[in-house]
Structure 1
Amino acid sequence: METEFKFHIPTGRLAGVEDELRQGVVQRTRMQARYFDTPTGALAAAGMALRLRKEGRRWVQTVKAAGHGLLQRLEHNADLGAARAADLRRPDLLRHRDTPVGERLLQVLQAAGEELVETYATDIWRLTREIHHAGARVELALDVGKIVAQSPPGGPLRVAPVCELELELLQGPLGGLVELSARWAQRHGLWLGTVSKAERGERLMKGISQVPAIKAEAPRFGDSPAPDGAVLQRLVIAACLAQVLPNASEIAEGSEDAEQIHQLRIGLRRLRTALRELGPLAPGLDPAWDAPITRTFGALGAQRDRAQVLAESRRWMEDADAPTLTLPAAADVPTPTAAVRDPGFQAVLVALAGRAAEDPAEPLAAGPAAAATLDADATLAHLRERLRRLHRRSLRDAERFDQLDDRQRHRIRKRLKRLRYLAEFVAPLLGDSRTARYLDQLRPAQDALGLFNDQVTARRLYEQAAQQDAHAWFAIGWLAARQPRTAKKAGKALRRLADAPKFWKGRRKG
């Protein structure tokens, strides 16, 4: 098992990273690897990679697979010594026998029933150095080189550059790795990457330039008894980051895919809910993490408003002979890529990934909050009380919805989202089916409030545009005429929440 952070290095910062790395004792090694899979990609589909790599004069056979956490991977290396390349046409699977990852490898290949073939290759110069920090022994590895693949097999060669820094925990506490990783990322403007060299090789070989956005999944509590506050915090944060990190990684690399931006915003909303609602369960969650998340969320929202909301508003008015209108460029709004690469945001991602990866058996590191960890019963009691209060507050909001201004209605929408996300977090503990029935009745109110918010946002953007283009007044008038009707429907949908089953009152699942 290896535990590591992987960072991508921006153009122009490589020299600074290498200069600092060389301030200690370093070792430079050329690594030339050949990767193998079945013709149908059975290993890649299982999240595994198998390679033969020449490291200097020695050969090493390695198999890797996803581990049990955000930072962990299963790995087994077989040192083959100074063998001849001609003797290493294909990996010998028996070299990994009696290891967890080796057993998984055999199961996948036996199920596939196919022979191994060479798929792609890498040629990397690695500069390594060991650093001792906060009781941890960490290896820093600067990798610069390329990935080479034929796409399609037998076709032209495709080449992708590699320029990344990996920090791997060799010994000692995880906190030392987290702190050291954050320092290097801050000093050199690095950003977290979730795409391994093997995954990049697969994309290169298949000619994939865009991957689907990652959507949210429920926390995985397993079949063990209900977790205490600290364990629940870690598992929920891990579930949030499983959506946030892959989408953020793609956007940081330059993706402008609307769905990835949308799913990252959802992931950040869920993450903010987790930080706010689960903070009292155990120490270790820093309230200061919210500000960088909010900044990035806001920048992504500005992008979404100008693209999706305005496109939707034009669809609403397509039968009303609305005049053509081009909005002026947004001022002082960072691009999605710049917002995700923001050093403050990246520092929070590193800290949260470290928090989620902590061993539940280890004592908690000191945090900004001095509260003690709640036991399992107290944790569930706290969550039930929070669900009850958010539900009751939503019903009070429904009764006065017609008298509220747009800003107050927006706060109601955000509170309703917190209620939804908190319900989704605890669903595996309190019963998935019972929670699903509640969420089914919550959804119409959320959809109605979302439509109203989109209309308010579109109107605000058109009001800004009207300062330069009088055609915008048509859209302003059209939206102003429909907002009261939309608000009435939203209030009505919110009041129906009174009939939703209060799933938090029942017994704990199991």
Structure 2
Amino acid sequence: MSIEIELKLQLTAKTAKKLASHPLLAGIKPQKQHLLNTYFDTPKLDLQAKRIAVRFRKKGWQWLLTVKSAEPASGGLAMRSEWEAQATPGVFDFSHVDADDLRQFLEQSTGDLEPIFTTDFRRQIWNVPFGESLIELAVDRGNIESRGNSTPICEIELELLSGKVDDIFGLTRKLQEQLDLHPAIASKAERGYNLYNKVPPSPFKAKAATINGQMTPVEAFRSIALGCLEHFQRNENGLLAGGEAEFIHQARVALRRLRSAIKLFAPVLPPEFVTTYGQTWQTLASALGDARNWDVFLEETLPPIQAAFPDNRDIKRLRNEARQRAKSARRSIIRLLAVSEYPRLLVEFTSAIYALTDTLPMPLKEFATERIASHARRARKLAARHATLSPEERHRMRISFKKLRYTLEFFAPLLPSKRLPSYLAALSQLQDELGLINDHVTAEALINDVLAKRPIGPIHGWISGRHELLVKELPEALEIWLTTGQLKIRRNS
């Protein structure tokens, strides 16, 4: 078995033609290959379910059987286990797979394996010495085909042959100085399965944290931060396409979780990392927040107002103006993602995450216990005096509950599995009610912005009435959460 460490970058056909003249490749004669690959799975796609890829590759006159694990990529970087051996087409011999459980699973599945999709592309390869490393730079151009449909391939793969992972990022940064290169997250196999399944782009939600009690706090942060980055990147295409509101919502949640994770782990992170990346995402986060506010106003807040005031002449104007503001907010997001600094930020941030080391080592369970207790104390202190909170303080209470929820979700693998769902459910209900209260406050500000010179007393009165009603219902949700008690880290986690 080998560990494949590679960074994938998207580029246009025009940029691909410019690559060969880059100074870093001067004097290096590229190898040229034609690679035809057929990927196999069972009719029920059992391999995909286990994030395993099996393919036959024709490389010149040679045939290879390859098995890969499919750990998710973030910032374009993927680390995958790979087993490859010479083979006869159609003969599935997995004896070269030295992971016993995986080999047995594959051997049991052999009789059901059938072709799912093919990738057919031409590859140019440069072996580039950079820093202390030797890096294979491969440009692939061709197509993925399945069930009569196809999608193009035009990408760079930077694979670490020897040396340090940081040199892959260093080489990428040098290339990005002259070329438009964007970190890509989906492998050819993932794209092939999407084509086979005819999966349309859909909003991607946060996945469960994959940490354990044997990790250090920095290792846990790395896993969590890369998960947040993947969450954002997988909604990127939906943002660029100006798609449904849920893409904006999920992208916004991804950045909120990422920024919360940086603050949560700040005590064990370098101060310059916290300062730099705690603020770096702010412009994009603000643009997403603006777009999300207009989406919520149009989809959730405005319809009941319109039902309450069917004859109000300002409602139609309000709706039309809100739609224009929502479109403008979407265009702002697209412009931010289109600037050259954005793909560079993805590379820089991913590089910085991998470069982190444990300068203040401490057990993760001890760290998690302290951080959970700190966030819970802050939230409970505000909840205990909810009746006297000002609107600004109530807003801070909402934010503190959100941070507590993210903290619990990040550390979930360490928490008691039986009690956590009910605790999170009570917290979610509380967040929902506080979110509705905040939506009405935001709606009033948005209406003032749109109809600043028009008398809208009845609408404001209706919003204020709903707001007061929600505030009166809040104590019950607070009481339910306050009686859930405390969550403690499991000893055997």
Query: Which band: TM-score by shorter chain?
Result: 0.7 to 0.9
| 2:286 aligned with 1:287 | no
| 2:438 aligned with 1:447 | no
SS in 2 for 1:188: coil
Tell me how far 1:217 sits from its aligned partner.
Answer: 0.7
**How far apart, CA to CA, are the structure 2 residues paired with 1:214 and 1:266?**
9
Listed one character per residue, the Cα deviations across residues 460-489 of structure 1 (whole Å, up to 9, x for unaligned) are 222222158x59776444323322333344
SS in 2 for 1:503: coil
Tell me how far 1:132 sits from its aligned partner.
Answer: 2.7
Tell me how far 1:3 sits from its aligned partner.
Answer: 1.0
TM-score (norm 1): 0.80
Q: Which amino acid aligns with 1:3?
A: I
Please say which of residues 268-277 and 189-198 is displaced more in the overlay: 189-198
Match of 2:320 in 1: 326
Listed one character per residue, the Cα deviations across residues 171-223 of structure 1 (whole Å, up to 9, x for unaligned) are 112222233334435653433222221222222233332346233313331xx
Is contact 2:206-2:228 (8 Å) kept? no
Is contact 2:51-2:71 (8 Å) kept? no
Q: Work out which of the residue numbers 411, 425, 444 in structure 2 matches 1:426.
A: 411
Match of 2:262 in 1: 275
**How far apart, CA to CA, are the structure 1 residues paired with 2:490 and 2:114?**
53
Q: Kindly tell me: are residues 14 and 463 of structure 1, through their superposed partners in 2, closer, same or farther at Cα, counting changes over 3 Å?
A: farther
Q: Kindly tell me: are residues 338 and 138 of structure 1, through their superposed partners in 2, closer, same or farther at Cα, counting changes over 3 Å?
A: farther
Say how many residue pairs are matched: 476
Match of 2:137 in 1: 140
Match of 1:128 in 2: 125
Unpaired stretches in structure 2, ≥5 consecutive residues: none
Match of 1:192 in 2: 183
**How far apart, CA to CA, are the structure 1 residues paired with 2:412 and 2:101?**
33
Q: Which amino acid aligns with 2:82?
A: E
Q: Work out which of the residue numbers 77, 83, 86 in structure 1 matches 2:84.
A: 77
**How far apart, CA to CA, are the structure 2 residues paired with 1:121 and 1:43?**
16
**How far apart, CA to CA, are the structure 2 residues paired with 1:496 and 1:333?**
38
| 2:132 aligned with 1:160 | no
Tell me how far 1:422 sits from its aligned partner.
Answer: 1.1
SS in 2 for 1:163: strand
- Seq. identity, %: 27
Listed one character per residue, the Cα deviations across residues 309-352 of structure 1 (whole Å, up to 9, x for unaligned) are 32101333353134433125234664545444555454444355
**How far apart, CA to CA, are the structure 2 residues paired with 1:427 and 1:400?**
28
**How far apart, CA to CA, are the structure 1 residues paired with 2:394 and 2:14?**
46
Q: Kindly tell me: are residues 215 and 282 of structure 1, through their superposed partners in 2, closer, same or farther at Cα, counting changes over 3 Å?
A: closer
Q: Work out which of the residue numbers 51, 55, 58 in structure 2 matches 1:54.
A: 58
| 2:35 aligned with 1:31 | yes
SS in 1 for 2:209: coil
SS in 1 for 2:308: coil
Q: Work out which of the residue numbers 467, 477, 481 in structure 1 matches 2:465.
A: 481
Q: Kindly tell me: are residues 186 and 317 of structure 1, through their superposed partners in 2, closer, same or farther at Cα, counting changes over 3 Å?
A: farther
**How far apart, CA to CA, are the structure 2 residues paired with 1:211 and 1:37?**
23
**How far apart, CA to CA, are the structure 2 residues paired with 1:441 and 1:336?**
33
**Within 5 Å, which residues of 2 pair with 1:216-295?**
216-221=207-212, 225-248=213-236, 250-251=237-238, 254=241, 256-283=243-270, 285-295=273-283
Is contact 2:126-2:138 (8 Å) kept? yes
Q: Kindly tell me: are residues 206 and 175 of structure 1, through their superposed partners in 2, closer, same or farther at Cα, counting changes over 3 Å?
A: same
Unpaired stretches in structure 1, ≥5 consecutive residues: 81-87, 151-156, 359-364
**How far apart, CA to CA, are the structure 1 residues paired with 2:388 and 2:177?**
47
**Within 5 Å, which residues of 2 pair with 1:385-396?**
385-396=370-381
Match of 1:153 in 2: none
Q: Kindly tell me: are residues 271 and 55 of structure 1, through their superposed partners in 2, closer, same or farther at Cα, counting changes over 3 Å?
A: same
SS in 2 for 1:166: strand
**How far apart, CA to CA, are the structure 1 residues paired with 2:175 and 2:195?**
29
| 2:201 aligned with 1:210 | yes
Tell me how far 1:492 sits from its aligned partner.
Answer: 6.1
**How far apart, CA to CA, are the structure 2 residues paired with 1:16 and 1:289?**
32
Match of 2:102 in 1: 104
Is contact 1:237-1:352 (8 Å) kept? no
SS in 1 for 2:155: strand
Q: Kindly tell me: are residues 197 and 478 of structure 1, through their superposed partners in 2, closer, same or farther at Cα, counting changes over 3 Å?
A: same
| 2:448 aligned with 1:463 | yes
Q: Kindly tell me: are residues 345 and 121 of structure 1, through their superposed partners in 2, closer, same or farther at Cα, counting changes over 3 Å?
A: same
**How far apart, CA to CA, are the structure 2 residues paired with 1:245 and 1:382?**
29
Listed one character per residue, the Cα deviations across residues 346-381 of structure 1 (whole Å, up to 9, x for unaligned) are 44443554566x5xxxxxx567xxx832321xx444
| 2:296 aligned with 1:311 | no
**How far apart, CA to CA, are the structure 2 residues paired with 1:343 and 1:109?**
47
Match of 2:398 in 1: 413
Q: Kindly tell me: are residues 52 and 219 of structure 1, through their superposed partners in 2, closer, same or farther at Cα, counting changes over 3 Å?
A: closer
Tell me how far 1:399 sits from its aligned partner.
Answer: 5.4
SS in 2 for 1:141: strand
Match of 1:41 in 2: 45
Please say which of residues 446-455 and 188-197 is displaced more in the overlay: 188-197
Please say which of residues 493-502 and 266-275 is displaced more in the overlay: 493-502
Q: Which amino acid aligns with 1:230?
A: V
Tell me how far 1:55 sits from its aligned partner.
Answer: 3.2
Q: Which amino acid aligns with 1:202?
A: Y
Is contact 2:25-2:128 (8 Å) kept? no
| 2:1 aligned with 1:2 | no
Listed one character per residue, the Cα deviations across residues 239-272 of structure 1 (whole Å, up to 9, x for unaligned) are 4345334334x43663724334323322222221
SS in 2 for 1:372: coil
**How far apart, CA to CA, are the structure 2 residues paired with 1:438 and 1:267?**
22
Match of 1:83 in 2: none
